[in-house]
Amino acid sequence: MANNDELANAAARGDIGTMRQLLNNGADPNGINRFGRTPIQVMKLGAPAVCRLLLDYGADPNRQDNQQIALIHDVAREGFLDTLQVLVEVGNANINLRDMNNRLPIDLAMLNNHLDVVRYLDSWGKTVGPRN
């Protein structure tokens, strides 16, 4: 649990050096911290390098919390296109993942006027088709 908390805390701070050290020493990229969340669920949103590192070590990009919210929902809602691109293109995150309110990431981006995110998700969806 200690390593899980340390890795999640480093991910939340965007501390790549500490994350890399912990992961190289066997920390679980999908390990649950004391609050029941994984590092990718608590990572600094505007940090595509953090996202890429976690994905490179096997983090689950589609892991949802008890509200059925995954990182893809958070970055779409907040407008972090660079992190979203890493999630989708590197992590193969599911762009059709619905939250508990039945909303897709594109719906959350539209609600918050993140038109660059909407365009990206729309074009990506047309390129690869449904990804369930």
What is the distance between the alpha carbons of residues 7 and 129, in angstroms, rounded to a whole number?
A: 34
Q: Are 64 and 94 in contact (CB under 8 A)?
A: no
Neighbours of 104 (CB within 10 A): 19
Q: Show the domains of the chain with their CATH numbers.
A: 1-60 (1.25.40.20), 61-132 (1.25.40.20)
Q: Is the pLDDT of residue 1 over 90?
A: no
Predicted confidence (pLDDT) per residue in 6-35, tens digit:
999 999 999 999 999 999 999 999 999 999
Whole-model pTM: value is 0.90
DSSP designation for 56: H
What is the distance between the alpha carbons of residues 27 and 105, in angstroms, rounded to a whole number?
A: 29
Residue among 48, 55, 40, 50 at smallest CA distance from 18? 50
Identity of the amino acid at 15: D
